[in-house]
A and B are shown apart, each in its own frame.
Chain A
Amino acid sequence: MNYLAWRDITANLMRFFLAAAGVGFLLTGSMGMLGLYRGVLHDALLTIEGIGADLWVVQGGRAGPFAEASVVSATLDRRVEGVAGVTSARRFVQNNLQFDIQGKPRRIAITGLDFPKDQGAWLSLAEGRLLQSGRGEAIADASLGLSLGQDIRLGRDSYRVVGVTSGQVDMSGDGQLFVTIPDAMDIADSRTPETVLLERAQGLGVSADRPSRIAAVVVTTEAGMVEEVARIIGAWGDVAVLSREDQRSALVDGRLWRLRMQILFFTILLLTVTGVVIAMTIYTSTLEKLHEIAMLKLIGARDGFILRMILEQAVLIGLFAYGLALLLSTLLFRFFPRNVVLLAEDLTLVFGGLLLACVVGSWIGIERAMRVRAKEVLA
């Protein structure tokens, strides 16, 4: 390293630290933005990736329950099971509802498991066990604040928490609560007795019973049969068949597209501000040193020597700021209400953006320094 750059920094430590701290906080913002997006994506894909579906059978003409409302018959799984090449067909339903838990309103993503075919074995339990009964049991995510063995009243019935998961939330960040499909439908269809009586009086007797609707059927197939099964079921016409990749795409390129763009623009904005802060710091520092730069030129310093001196200062500010941002991110993001996931590739992207900001930011300082003439020492 150019020791002149290092000495200049050590002689003006406070300015260096303040500039680096400012840039560091901006970088923390950039990392937080990217981490938030990754967290949303992670949460959103948790169920899609975890449930182990080769295909999703959803309402005809719809993009599936993760993109829009999807309603299919609760007996659709039986039709699907009859298709050659299908190894299992499970019903799927998920509703976001709000309940009072311990006196506080809390949003819960109620997810139905097709018990006994699906007892929740694909979930990662932090404590407790899987579902063992078709009624009255629940597996709750830790974010809901429910403890093992606790009874919780949802709608007309109470459910006992028999298992606790960690980090099992939906795209909105609502903690998931897993119950059997019939329980999930009951909870979703919770109506007051007056409503039921009124509907019966109006002759809507059927609607007073349990609605036979679910969101989708989750299908696994024999090896190499995915496309054939999809073709057969797709030909029925009343349903649509989506692959796991289709579901991912519906989420990432559909529902999360705007969020992704928004976060991208914010990140670019923050990196631009970072560049401006670095530029301002380096430029003012360069202006203060114009006489010394003229002297350096007088004693024969090449442009490269002066350029390196300025650029290295900018990069040092950037490196220190990056370290600070990493530290802050590691310490603070765990306390954020939403899941913030820092990926190595995103940190590399931020680092690359930072280096670019350092180079571009220091450019006006370098450009000014290059215009200084040696004879200005005599001025």
Chain B
Amino acid sequence: MTPQPGTPVLSLRDVGVRYRGGDGAMVEALAGVTLDLMAGEMVGIFGPSGCGKTTLLMAAGLLERPTSGAVQLAGIPAAAVATEAALRDFRRRHIGFVFQKPNLIPVLTAAENVALAMVIDGVPAAEAERRAIALLAALEAAHRAGNRPASLSGGEQQRVAVARALANDPVLVLADEPTAALDSRRGRQVMEVLRSIARERHAAVAVVTHDPRSIDLFDRILEMDDGRIVAERRPGAQA
């Protein structure tokens, strides 16, 4: 179900993540983060290394259960999704992920990589492949549908990864440094694609990045430090 623009897709309430470090001491990776991501908006998450950006993404993506606070996605409390299997089903239907590395399956073609996410969701292979090619076409990568990742450029691989993230029409797209391995032109292209996903599909898009070159594409920018959101601003406005 496509959410209405401006309605909350993801809500984090006072979310904390603590774990025991290698030296036995407790590490507070997230310290009481509260955040709402709205349908149709793209949010940039900035901050120094080790500030908790990736941990925030993991908590938002239901990859890491918070030690405190609450996460709600598409109106459903994450705590209500009890088992790992149910969590995986939930994630498949609601969340798309994009990473610094495309993490494509090397033995599959671009179209098959995209289709795989749908096949896993129970879509017949032929139908999944048809939809995958349509998705790749939307990302201007359909001409490489039959190629394996090894023969694609970095930018093409990343577009395939984005197409895969969109395969099951997620309400939330989480991207972790998606442009870090790309040159500025290709990086910009990928960010524009993410931006169009937010605009056209009304998905909430959160991008963890160090890259300030595409800052103008974000609706909001969150600054993190020491596991906290320390600043929030809109591009063009003063922090």
Query: B-contacting residues of A (Cβ < 8 Å)?
Result: 3-4, 7-8, 10-11, 291-292, 295-303, 305, 373-375, 377-378
Contacts and interface: CB of A to CB of B under 8 A. Distances in A.
Interface stretch (B66-74, B87-95, B193-201): B87-95
Nearest to B148: A11
Ranked nearest first, the 5 interchain pairs of A and B with the lowest CB-CB distance are A300-B92, A11-B107, A375-B63, A7-B107, A299-B117
A300 B91 contact: yes
B26 interface: no
Interface string B76-95: 00000000010011011100
Contact of A4 (B88, B108, B121, B164): B108
A373 B125 CA distance: 26
Given A7-B108, A11-B107, A300 B116 contact: no
Contacts of B91: 298, 300, 374
20 contacts: A3-B125, A4-B116, A7-B112, A291-B103, A296-B116, A299-B92, A299-B117, A299-B164, A300-B89, A300-B93, A301-B88, A301-B120, A302-B89, A302-B120, A303-B85, A305-B120, A375-B58, A375-B64, A378-B58, A378-B63
A301 B91 CA distance: 10
B181 to A, nearest CB: 15
Contacts of A375: 58, 63-64
B63 A295 contact: no
B47 to A, nearest CB: 16
Contacts, number: 66
Contact of B88 (A3, A8, A300): A300
Contacts of A10: 107
A7 B149 CA distance: 14
Most chain B beta-carbon contacts within 10 A, residue among A298, A374, A378 = A378
Nearest to A304: B85
B97 interface: yes
Contacts of A11: 106-107
A378 B93 contact: no
A300 B91 CA distance: 6
The majority secondary structure among interface residues of chain A is helix
A8 B120 contact: no
Which among B58, B89, B105, B117 has the highest number of chain A CB atoms within 10 Å? B105
Contacts of A8: 107
A375 B54 CA distance: 10
A378 B59 CA distance: 13
Contacts of B54: 378
A28 B108 CA distance: 34
B150 to A, nearest CB: 10
B20 to A, nearest CB: 17
A11 B99 CA distance: 25
A136 B26 CA distance: 101
Given A296-B120, A298-B97, A301-B120, A374 B88 contact: yes
B41 interface: no
Contacts of A303: 85
A302 B63 contact: no
A302 B97 CA distance: 17
B176 interface: yes
A216 to B, nearest CB: 68
B11 to A, nearest CB: 21
A378 B57 CA distance: 10
